[in-house]
Structure 1
């Protein structure tokens, strides 16, 4: 539950916004939700593991072909366990690739289960697979309008002319009126200690296309390492990954991976949130706390559009926009490394989301705000509950950010 603590009377705009949040139709397709890719393997599909998923504040898990749980009985056991513990499953069933009658039979097998999240189609299709993937997507929407078909796009460093040739092309093939989420993956934490140079550029492209076609966006986040490719992220890097994604308007983050995959060919995985033997790793506790915190903020951001995203600081990442010198909100020090996102909902004031881009250092930032804004509302999260603190704004304001942390404000 989201509660509010007010120090003064809210404007009609803020009350209207919260009424929209609290009384809009529920269900994971219409609200902020956090998922995990690669669920516990079959021999660990049990009460203990599913209780841990729930305690990690996960809203859905994605079953995939590679996880080798591809039969109706596999899916139904996963659905039953997920329902018992209060989250959902995106099922994987080979009939999805068959005739119209086989697709219909697959949907009918799961459609009435209360824990059904959606249907797996394809992870990272190349452009030659768009036609059949889009056709299956549309058929699934026709048969089950309330669930989410799963197709996940390659990152931009794989595909030439990525924005038009891949991302927009996929939206157009499915039809923006059918597409539940525009989804892609890219994992930032490289084995050499750096962040992938195209990380923010990819987020910017997906943000731009999502706004152009009025489609909500989803992204896969890195919670695992792969030997000789990606380093195993720290707790602060998990925080950085999810808050920078939120800053670019992502509404449906999915962690890759939750379980540690084995037998993955040439890819050798470091321990993820749960190790290959079904044991919690050192990342489980911060992962759980982070998800709990982010879900409170995500429910506010879900119905807002990330209309402007700027970077401030000494370095300008590829594909990003520098904060304008005379922007209406800005840090007092131009060397402070941060993201400042303007979120919009109609014309009622200005929502701003600010992320500390340091991976290791807690930062205190001070901001100047244009004098036309008389009040600031700070959205604070404590133990997974969000409180709204409104105060007069008659001078600069300061706040403290953990490494990679994002904070939300409203100005009017």
Structure 2
């Protein structure tokens, strides 16, 4: 069980009125091609089976780095023009929601996404999430509020019958921020979706948290659900500065994803709400680049459209205002996505996160690891950096992503290459090319929130 002190109330408490997650606050605190699976695989044990090969799964597989949005335009603003606006900003997929959650509206939404090349993770409250939120999947008819595995398969099939014709369908959002007690039933749901639609992504986003109890929580999810990727949300731009537990949360999620052999995704904060500040353009870049340094293989924005004020929690404008006007953060996200995240993400996506270290920072944030020199990087001096190291399973090159630790100030730093480095190249995202630089002293001047990527051979 996850200790209450280790968990952070996530967005389920913020958006519960729309059924984005279903637990009461007390439950929160306690808490290539894909081969087809046989129908009902592993349902008796409550454990799903991850596909043997995820290289063909939407978003997880392929070369494109997944850049998503949560809380898309509401039904009355769902149009081809609005979805083109999302695509124009460099986003590649949408997690449906914001009242666009019944069959007719989702069908219309998918049709709009079809026309502009976006993918969609469907949050279907009439079929899929109705199954996972309100019922336990069990063939023991004495279990209260339960449905049989046959009933669950029928609900999944109904959703597929309604949506599978759309090329934009990437998969199903089965649950947002589940608590540990529902993992066995959620594992059955994942297994049913994979058996019925092995070429679609079964997705759930996890709660944030800290401490050893959080490790237990995430590992419990992995053991019960066998996800094809892990996703979590934590919003670090708070009124007092930065969330002190942010790096520890990332370090623990990174470790769990590596142990499970799956990619880690995260959400970044786009708006102010109770206790949280409005992010600047540099704050958006900082969240993205820190996440990349920690090994993120997918970035999602919370939120795209501004939630209705009737939801409470003091939501301020996101990328789009409540009445559909672009905020400065829309333009900042567009520039960040198109000119940096999409191209650098394609480079980083197939690489393996080897380490992440904080240089020139004292005291270290909780959960962070300090810089240790080695034969690749013998020294890191000057301003504080978050340094992510990566290896290429297909080759001998090593990669170093150095992110400015500061959200507000320019970083003037130097990385010195070590004895194992014979050649260095610096990535240029604008031209999507590598520029050879001399080994030795690599002098950096990084704007607030920015990062640089080097290839070492």
User: What range describes the TM-score normalised by the shorter chain of this pair?
Assistant: 0.7 to 0.9
Q: Which residue of 2 aligns with 1:72?
A: 103
For residues 10-409 of structure 1, the aligned pairs below 5 Å read: 27-31=58-62, 32-64=65-97, 67-93=98-124, 94-96=126-128, 97-98=130-131, 99=151, 100-157=153-210, 161-164=213-216, 166-175=217-226, 179-192=227-240, 194-226=241-273, 228-263=274-309, 265-292=311-338, 293-315=340-362, 316-325=364-373, 328-333=376-381, 335-346=382-393, 348-382=396-430, 385-393=431-439, 395-409=440-454
Q: Report if aligned partners of 2:318, 2:329 keep a CA contact under 8 Å in 1.
A: yes
1:179-218 CA-to-partner distances (Å, cap 9, x unmatched) read 22111111000122x1111101111111111111101111
Contact 2:281 2:332 (8 Å CA) reproduced: yes
How many angstroms does 1:306 deviate by? 1.0
In structure 2, the residue corresponding to 1:254 is in which secondary structure?
strand
* Contact 1:310-1:339 at 8 Å conserved across structures: yes
What secondary structure is seen at the aligned counterpart in 1 of 2:403?
strand
Does the CA-based 8 Å contact 2:423-2:456 persist in structure 1?
A: yes
2:376–2:420 Cα contact (<8 Å) kept: no
| Contact 1:374 1:392 survives alignment (8 Å) | no
Change (3 A) 1:160 1:262: farther
Matched position secondary structure for 1:231: coil
> What TM-score results when the alignment is normalised by the length of structure 2?
0.79
Comparing 179-188 with 233-242, greater Cα deviation is found at: 179-188
- 1:14 is matched with none
Structure 1 SS opposite 2:313: coil
Alpha-carbon spacing, 1:84–1:392, altered in 2? closer, same or farther (3 Å) = same
> Cα deviation per residue 1:22-46 (whole Å; 9 max; x = unaligned)?
xx86842314210000000111112
Task: Provide the TM-score with structure 1 as the length reference.
Answer: 0.87
* Offset from partner CA, 1:216-259 (integer Å, 9 cap, x none): 11111111110x32111000000000111111111111100000
Equivalenced residue count is 376
Q: What's the CA shift for 1:407?
A: 1.4
Gaps of 5+ in 2: 1-54, 132-150
The CA distance in 2 between the partners of 1:332 and 1:249, in whole Å, is: 20
The answer (yes or no) to whether the contact 2:410–2:447 under 8 Å persists in 1 is yes
Query: How many Å separate the matches in 2 of 1:276 and 1:61?
Result: 18
After the TM superposition, which of the residue ranges 34-43 and 308-317 deviates more from structure 2?
A: 308-317
> Residues 378, 26 of structure 1: CA spacing in aligned structure 2 closer, same or farther, 3 A cutoff?
farther
- The structural deviation recorded for 1:327 is 6.3
8 Å contact kept, 2:80–2:113: no
Cα RMSD (Å) of the superposition? 1.8
